[in-house]
Structures are given as C-alpha cells and as structure tokens.
Amino acid sequence: MSAPTTFSVALHNETATAQLMADLALLVGPGDVITLTGDLGAGKTAAARALIRYLASDETLEVPSPTFTLVQGYELPPFPVMHADLYRVEDESELEEIGLSPLPDATLVLIEWPERAPSAMPQDRIDISLTHRPALGSNARAADITGYGKSAATVARLQALREFLDVSGYLESTRRRMAGDASTRSYARLRRDEEIVILMNFPQRPDGAATYNGKSYSAAVHLAENVKPFVAIDEGLRAQGISAPIIHHSDLDHGFLITEDFGSEGVVEGDPPRPIAERYEAAADVLATLHGKTLPETLPLADQTYAIPVFDTEALLIEIGLMPEWYLPDRNAPLSETARSEFFAMWRELLKKPQAAPRTWIIRDYHSPNLIWLGDRAGIARVGVIDFQDTVLGPQSYDVVSLLQDARIDVPETIELTLLSRYIKARRAADAGFDPAGFAELYAIMSAQRNTRLLGTFARLNRRDGKPHYLRHQPRIWTYLQRSLAHPALSSLRDWYLANVPPPKI
C-alpha cells in the first residue's frame, strides 16, 4: 500500500471551507470515502454540508447534522451521497444496522467521528482533520487532509489543483458545479468578480484494461488519455477560424485547464429537444469549411509537437466490436463464431473505401451537447466547439454523420437530408471535383459504423459504468442505423443485421 499523503490548508471562514470542499468534490466519486475528524464545533458538518450542496448545485439545500438520525442519504445529480455521524455509536456492530457495514456501493460516503469505529474504516479513504485556529479569526480552521491507500493519489491531486488555482489567481473564486459527460473529466465554473471561466479536470487515465492487443480500449481507438491532445487541437481549431475556447492557464502534467466560458446556449430547443435550423446550418458550414482545407497532421504543443492519430481500420473494427461484445448479450442474441467472422469480414471490406478517401480532422463527437451557440459572433464563428480531444485523421463524412444523426436528439430525416444537401452544395462550390454520390456512400458507411458502435457503447455505459440513462438513446441509434443500411452499398450488411441483430427495447 502506498504511504499516506498529507497537506494542510488554512480556512479563514466558511467560504474558504466551501471552496476547499468544492475542489475535493471535483476529484472524488461514487465508492470514495471521506472521514471528518475534529472536536465538537470544529466544522465537520459545515464541511460535509458544503460538499453536498456543491454536488447538488443548490446553496440552500437543507443538510442537517446526522447526529440523531446517524445517517442521511442524498440522491444528487452526479451520484448518491451518504452522510453519517458516528458520535452516538457505542459499538461497531451498530454500523450494520445503519447501512454502513459493508459500506454502500456506487455511493460517496462522508463519515463524521470515524474514530468511534476505527476498524470499520476502509484502507482507501480521505481524512479531513479540522482544528480551530483563533489566531486567524474567530471562525478560522485548519484542515489537515490525508489520503490513505489508493486515496493518497487523490489528495496529491487535490494539492496540485489548489496550487494551480493559486498560481492562476482563482483560489478565492466562487465554484459552481457543471454537469459532466460519459468521460472521467469533470468541470466547474469559476467566478472572480465579474469574470467567469471554466476549470477542467482531465486526469490521466485509460478507458479499460489492456485487453486489445495489449492496449486499453481508449489507446486502441485513439481516445485521449490526458489533457495534451485537447490543448493541441484547441489551438489548431482556433488557427482555422473555428471557435474553440481560449485556454487561459494550463497544467499539462496534472491535467488542469482554465478556459474561456462559452456559456450554455445550445443549438437545440424545445422538449423533446429538436434542431434549431439556423444553428444546425452554421454547424454544417463549419464542417464544409474545415473539410475544404488542407490541414496539418502535426500540431505544436508547448515545447514539442502532437501527431494527430490516424483512424485506422483496426481502430474502427474495435469500435464496431462493442456491438457484439456488449449490445447483443443484452438482447440475448450472442453470435456464433461463423456469424462473428462474417460480421468482421464484411466490415473490413466495407471500410476500404473510407480508408482510401481524403483525410481530414475528425472531431468525433461533433453533435448538439458539444456545440454552443455564440450569437454575438459572425459566420462559422457562431458555433462554439467544446469537445475535440479525441480528434483523429479520417474520412470527411464521419463528423457530418455525428451532426446530422445526433446520438442525443432526434434529427428528422427531412432535416438530415436538407443539411446534407447544404454541406454537399458548399463543398461543390469550393471544389468542382467533389463527388456527391461518392460522398453519400461514404456517409452511409460511416453512419453504419458509428451507430453500430454506439449501440455497444451505450450498453457498456449501462452495464460496466452504471449509467443506465444512456440506454434511452438506443432506439434513436437504431433508427439512424436503419437509414444508413438502406444504401445499396450496404445491402449485404443489411441482410446480416436483419438475421443477427434484434432491435433495442423501447
């Protein structure tokens, strides 16, 4: 087991406590345990309350001391939180009665007075020891934060984050939680006077074990495993006139950024959400403009360079393989070895055309959650792009599919075809040699590839990562998949899917 990691923070008032706990909240998640120690009145409940309110995005949330109830549960937007107070516990056997032995899975647990049940505390935990510091003020405290076991790395990261915020001038800023995504990244809005910026926490972390020829899934399909690709691509996009956020401060080694805040005005409206025509047209124009350029394949990054990875056939096949690996077992439709071999053989043949097509930057998840409307700008600069760290080199049709067959909202086929025609018209106007029919075939192939992968991705997010809300997107993905399989070039694949792939549950 790694040695404990400790650092200390002077907390002059409750605002400073709230800032510290917001920073810690950015780095912890379900399964983590935080113990709070200190004398009566040292501020343990105030610290727990600050963290819970930050995660709830509600400064007025009622968070009573659990001294009498012993345990208080909260179903918060990112994950459940359990707040316990063991002051009245006389024997560790009582922990089972109150739901703390064993500790609950997939829950962040905050425990006051852990010394009442020392042997029941997990080896991996963060302890915050609070003491009065009257010399600093009547409400001042000192916090000694110690990480034990695996949590030592989290405490070291918390110290690095605090140092980054201090150097950047944002240590005293107000923190507001931002909703995350399917990744390990987390975000906060920082307010300093009238200025608002975004703090990004991008930990170095592979997605999955090394099961793909000795590589993690993220490495095998060229997903970013640290913040460096984000920085390189951000600067590359801005050099092409595309609105990516300005990076004000960066710590590339630890994976912290402070960036421009584009706000939250999106490109969809209504409930259920639907595309706003003008904004989707501008988003399609961004792609037509970008794809008409000869783009560099290497970009500057600090004192080095970053080579954009190629979206090669093996990476595309590994992505497609998520469907038989995760989706088909959920539908009780496992493949025979023969059917599996047919599946990959057909796909390997189909992917020859996209691989031979001209390459561009594929932003990859170029769709509504990652597009911000910047109405005070002009032309294609009105579309703010915020998710591009996984950019690869590949066929131009891929991002057009991402936009026009949005995984998160329904794009009616009439709108899809109108925008596809707009894109093709813009490309032909800039290049008389552009082949609309050839592009339409590549569009169908990459649509089938992307939507096949998404069926598996959403099944994996549910089963592996405990995120069942992604399953609601599967019927939409299925609809898009049927559209692409209708292309004559995919007739054999369509027959195979008809025989082997059942539709998702509705």
* pLDDT score recorded for residue 68: 86
Least confident residue range of 118-122, 395-399, 416-420: 118-122
Take residue 397 and report the two structure tokens written for it: 């049709």
Take residue 6 and report the two structure tokens written for it: 């400790």
Take residue 442 and report the two structure tokens written for it: 């590549």
The pLDDT tens digits for 128-179 are 999 988 877 777 899 999 999 999 999 999 999 999 999 999 999 999 999 8
The pLDDT tens digits for 400-442 are 999 999 999 999 999 999 999 999 999 999 999 999 999 999 9
* pLDDT score recorded for residue 301: 95
Spatial CA neighbour of 504 closest among 455, 462, 448, 468: 455
- Residue 227's contacts (CB-CB under 8 Å, 6 or more residues apart) are 200, 202, 250, 252, 255, 256, 257, 389
Q: Is the confidence at residue 182, as pLDDT, over 60?
A: no
Per-residue confidence band for 72, with pLDDT thresholds at 50, 70 and 90: very high
Burial degree of 32 (CB within 10 A; 0-12, 13-18, 19+): buried
Q: Is the confidence at residue 99, as pLDDT, over 90?
A: no
Q: Is the confidence at residue 256, as pLDDT, over 60?
A: yes
Q: Report which DSSP code applies to 468.
A: G
Q: What is the mean pLDDT of residues 34-39?
A: 96
- Beta strand 71-75 with 80-85 is antiparallel
* pLDDT score recorded for residue 465: 83
* pLDDT score recorded for residue 210: 81
Q: Is the confidence at residue 365, as pLDDT, over 70?
A: yes
Say what percent of the chain tops pLDDT 90.
Answer: 86
With beta carbons less than 8 A apart as the criterion, state whether 378 and 276 touch.
Answer: no
Average pLDDT, the chain: 94
Q: What is the mean pLDDT of residues 357-380?
A: 96
* pLDDT score recorded for residue 181: 67
Strands (E), 261-370: 268-269, 274-275, 298-301, 304-307, 359-362
Take residue 496 and report the two structure tokens written for it: 């195979």
**Residue where the block lists tokens 């059917």:** 339
* pLDDT score recorded for residue 1: 60
Q: Is the confidence at residue 323, as pLDDT, over 90?
A: yes
The pLDDT tens digits for 198-249 are 999 999 987 778 888 889 999 999 999 999 999 999 999 999 999 999 999 9
User: What are the chain's domains?
Assistant: 5-169 (3.40.50.300), 264-500 (3.90.1200.10)
- Residue 249 φ then ψ, to 5°: -145, 145
Largest CA distance in the chain: 82
Spatial CA neighbour of 158 closest among 21, 10, 23, 3: 23
* Residue 505 to residue 449: CA distance in whole angstroms: 21
